[in-house]
Amino acid sequence: MAKVSLKTIDKAPRTDPPIGSSGAIETRALFARAVDPIHAHAHKLAPGASLCIEGSPSDRVVYVWKGAVEAGGATLDAGSNIVAELGTALTVTAGDQGATLISFGTAAHLADGGAGGHIHLLPSDRVPRIQKTGGMNVGSALFADSRCPTCRVWLHETEFRDGDAPIDIHSHSEDEVIFVTAGAIRLGNAVHGPGSALFVAANTNYGFSTGPEGLTFVNFRPSSPTYATADGSFILNEADYFIEHVGKPQYLDLTAA
């Protein structure tokens, strides 16, 4: 697998929805090959369609990008999140406007990935957010903090509001997939808009710029990440930083009585 790889929803191959799903669903495999350490899919649900989300073969993180779904008696609109841990399953049903969901998970369960057995719902109004990050015109949100007792997965959102802003070359300690939800990411001379997914291998130095209207993305990692400058002179524990400055997600747990 290349250290950096880009895929887009419109060019990603169509595949069958998960077993147990029903109704009109278009599923696209962004990253799903045997060599891909992270698997990512986009599911476009017609109104009333139901998607089965399984924590198999590893914990599954599902971000509600567009529309809304009903799950476990809760309404999850755009900006909500679901964590289906190892060994669990959940069926979600799209509302009257349909829904588009982005699903992330590792190709295999990690040895230190947690015991599993829980389903966490995070409606958008419970997502911890801040409007300024480090004094910059950058918003942040945290959907899965890697500090759950039974799972280690991570998902955060970053919103760069300034257009054509360069992001310094850096690396992270975990494999990651960045999914563009608004604006655009500029890689070299190419600009990639919403629906673009970028895989970056752990400890790979990379940089980018925001598009003319800024950039918003969600970022999945299999476990607790660190950030390092290109020369290694500054290293940041991202979980510690986000939990301190953004806050911990307050899940609705379907399986904890």
Residue 140 structure tokens? 């942040």
Given a cut of 80, is residue 1 above it in pLDDT?
Answer: no
pTM of structure: 0.97
Mean pLDDT across the stretch 202-228? Answer: 97
**Residue 243 and residue 133 share a domain:** yes
Residue 50, domain member (yes or no): yes
- CA 179 vs. chain centroid, Å, equals 7
**Burial status of residue 229 (CB atoms within 10 A of its CB: 0-12, 13-18, 19 or more):** middle
Residue 31, domain member (yes or no): yes
* β 89-106/138-145 pair status: unpaired
The closest of 182, 220, 183 to 198, measured between CA atoms, is 220
Q: Which domain holds residue 35?
A: 12-123
Q: Which residue has the tokens 């990512």?
A: 40
Residue 6, domain member (yes or no): no
**Residue 54 and residue 135 share a domain:** no
Residue 256, domain member (yes or no): no
Given a cut of 60, is residue 257 above it in pLDDT?
Answer: no
**Residue 114 and residue 165 share a domain:** no
Distance between first and last Cα of the chain: 42
Per the CB < 8 A criterion, the answer to whether 65 and 78 are in contact is yes
Residue 90 structure tokens? 């959940």
Tell me the backbone φ, ψ of residue 9, rounded to 5 degrees: -60, -45
Q: How much of the chain, in percent, has pLDDT values that exceed 70? A: 99
| Residue that is last in its domain, among 59, 93, 123 | 123
**Residue 152 and residue 115 share a domain:** no
CATH of the domain at 217: 2.60.120.10
Burial 165-180 (b: 16+ CB within 10 A, else e): bebeebbbbbbbbbbb
**Residue 142 and residue 52 share a domain:** no
Number of domains in the chain: 2
Given a cut of 70, is residue 129 above it in pLDDT?
Answer: yes
Residue 184, domain member (yes or no): yes
Residue 250 structure tokens? 């307050």
The predicted-structure confidence for 147-198, as pLDDT tens digits, reads as follows 999 999 999 999 999 999 999 999 999 999 999 999 999 999 999 999 999 9
| Residue that is last in its domain, among 123, 144, 163 | 123
The half-sphere exposure of 120 on its side-chain side, counting CA atoms within 13 A, is 29
Given a cut of 90, is residue 6 above it in pLDDT?
Answer: yes
Residue 1, domain member (yes or no): no
**Residue 148 and residue 77 share a domain:** no
**Residue 189 and residue 96 share a domain:** no
**Residue 119 and residue 42 share a domain:** yes
Given a cut of 60, is residue 37 above it in pLDDT?
Answer: yes
Interacting residues of 11 by C-beta distance below 8 A, sequence separation 6+: none
| Residue that is last in its domain, among 99, 123, 147 | 123
Residue 64: its H or E element? strand 60-71
Residue 230, domain member (yes or no): yes
**Residue 191 and residue 88 share a domain:** no
Largest separation between any pair of C-alpha atoms in the chain: 52
